[in-house]
Structures are given as C-alpha cells and as structure tokens.
Amino acid sequence: LAVSSLPGHLARRFHQISTALFDVEMRRSGLDLTPVQYAAVVAVRDNPAIDQATLAGLIAYDRTTIGGVVDRLVDKGFVTRMTNAADRRARVLSLTEAGASTIVAAEGAVVRAQEILVSGLNSSERETLTKLLDKAVTALGEVSRTGKG
Amino acid sequence: LAVSSLPGHLARRFHQISTALFDVEMRRSGLDLTPVQYAAVVAVRDNPAIDQATLAGLIAYDRTTIGGVVDRLVDKGFVTRMTNAADRRARVLSLTEAGASTIVAAEGAVVRAQEILVSGLNSSERETLTKLLDKAVTALGEVSRTGKG
DNA sequence: GAAGATTGAGTTCTCAATCTTT
DNA sequence: AAAGATTGAGAACTCAATCTTC
C-alpha cells in the first residue's frame, strides 16, 4: 500500500501547500490574516448580522473553531461581536471599517496564492481539478458538516 | 470574489473530509490511529532505522510535528526511539510487533476511507483527480518542504 | 558553523461537557 | 428538550529559539 499516491495523502499535501502559500503571500502584503480568518471575515461582510453558528455552517467549520477564530478577529478589530437582543443565545457579528479595508488589501495576496497553488497545471487542467474537487466534496456534503457541538 | 470556489477552499474541504472519514473508519475498526500516525508508522516499517529528520522529509512534515507524533507512537508501543550510537544527534526509529500488526489491522479502514472520499466520482474521474493533484503538488515540491527547524 | 532534536508559543481543529436561553 | 455558545482537553501544525553533537 503506497501511502504517497492515496487521495487522502494528496489531499493533505495540497492543503498544506495551500496554507503555506496563503501565509507567505499575506505576509508579503504586510497583512496578518490566516486562511480561516479570511474566509470568516468575507462571510461576515457578505452576510451582515450573521450569528456564529450560521457562519460555522456556511464555511464548513466546527462551532468551537469559529468561536476561537472570531475571538482573534475581534482582538484585531476586524469584527464586532454583540449579543442578539431578540435571541440572547446568539452572537451577532459585524464587519468594522478596518475589517472591510483589510479584505480589500488582502485580495491581491489571495489571488496570487491561488494562482501559484495550481501553477503546475494549464488552464484546462485547473478547471478540471476544481470541478472534480467540488464534485467529490459536494457528494459528501453530510460528512464533516459539524453542525452540532 | 467567491471564496467557496477557490482551489484553496476546496483543498481545505477535501482534506477536512478526508481526515474525518479516516477517523470514523479507524474507530469503526477499533483502532486509535490518526492519519499522520498511520503515515509515520508505515514509513518506519518501509525504512528500518530511519531517523526523525529523514522521516519528516519523507512524508513532508515539519520536524517538530514529527517529534510529537513519534512521542505518541512510542507511548502507544508502536515504535521505539533510540539514540544512534554512530551519530548521537540522531534518533533511530524502529517498528515494534504491535506496530506491525496494527498496520495490518488498519489497512481495511484506510482503503475504505479512500474509497468513500472519492465516492462521488467515477473511476475515470478518480484517476484524473489523483493525477492532477499529484501534478500540482509535485510542481510545488519546494514549497512547504519544511526541511529545516 | 551545521545538523538532529527538543522546548515554548501560538493557531487550527475536533470532541465532550457545560451553561444559558429558547 | 433543543439551540447558540463557551470551556476544557488533546492532536496537529508551524515558527523561533535553544541544546547537543558533529
């Protein structure tokens, strides 16, 4: 059983390289945002007044993970977290001005990281890879949905 | 910029599902092995008397990570770690009998997890996905090689 | 100095248990 | 009871700094 040719191993390597590239390009832009933090802050921008549980489901993360990620985004001043008056269990998230401008400033780094990630493939291959990954992931939508705590 | 269709996001989702399936199938087999631990123990089996730095390079992990992984494999009795008499900086790793039998016992779970991971694709698509992932990863071999500490 | 390894710090990720609120 | 959130525990991952040995 050759471990290195298993889909699971390739999944790990591809993801590992993806986050490493993201970190490098982000640092090169003078920004301090991790891949999760970027995904979260963009989701908050696109879904004003979203609560943490919905955010977790939207970008497919565990609730506990999102709690910690939001902690750091609040510390950095990119997001505010307030108790929802209508349902005091929920925490309403909002984007700050600093968060909005950071998203704009980060876009170049994000695009660059994506391009480098698939730089070994031609454009037809890139499209195929994206399509197949999406198809495989969508087919297993229930797995690791992590909706519950 | 739609985050959910970026290669980086798909890479994370695919990897996330991969490890979740691995954990489920391993638990179902009554075994307690994580994906990294499995990769490490197989690499030790296939490369007797390997040292930690070489192991880290072989399966593309950071040295510090491998140190912790080996700690747990030693605790579980699957691997032994001894100082190399010829070069006292290096730690020689060896597989125990328990480690060898665990690898055999785990094989079914590993194969099952891989099959489920690509269960949304037909066999031609599976082959293409594996080929493209390998191509993309190989092209970026230098990135995240993490050879140094 | 260079290489193998370890320690310490910080983020990510998941699970189980708990707390509050509905 | 169910849902949103938090806390605690453990594994994984990386980086910087340090230690020992070469």
- All residues of chain A having their beta carbon less than 8 Å from the beta carbon of residue B4 are 59
CA atom of B65 to C1′ atom of C7, Å: 13
Number of neighbours of residue B147 by Cβ within 10 angstroms:
12
C10 closest protein residue (CA to C1'):
A72
Determine whether the interchain pair A1/B42 forms a contact, defined as Cβ–Cβ distance below 8 Å.
yes
CA of B22 to C1' of C14 (A): 13
Whether the predicted model's global pTM rises above the 0.75 cut = yes
Mean pLDDT across the stretch A75-89? 95
**Residues A26, A122, B6, CA angle at the centre, nearest 5°?**
40
Among A36, A11, A21, smallest CA distance to B17 is for A11
Mean pLDDT to the nearest integer, A135-149: 70
What confidence category does residue A37 fall into, taking pLDDT thresholds of 50, 70 and 90?
very high
Q: Where are the alpha helices (DSSP H) in A1-149?
A: 7-28, 35-46, 52-58, 63-75, 97-117, 123-139
Question: How would DSSP label each residue in B60-108?
Answer: T--HHHHHHHHHHHHHTTSEEEEE-SSSTT-EEEEE-HHHHHHHHHHHH
CA-CA distance, A104 to B1, in Å (whole number)?
A: 11
Question: Is the confidence at residue B31, as pLDDT, over 60?
Answer: yes
Contacts of B35 in chain A (CB under 8 A): 8, 12
CA of B52 to C1' of D16 (A): 20
Q: How many angstroms away from the CA of B86 is the closest CA of chain A? A: 30
Using an 8 Å CB-CB cutoff, list chain A residues near B114.
6-8
**CB contact at 8 A, A42 and A75:** no
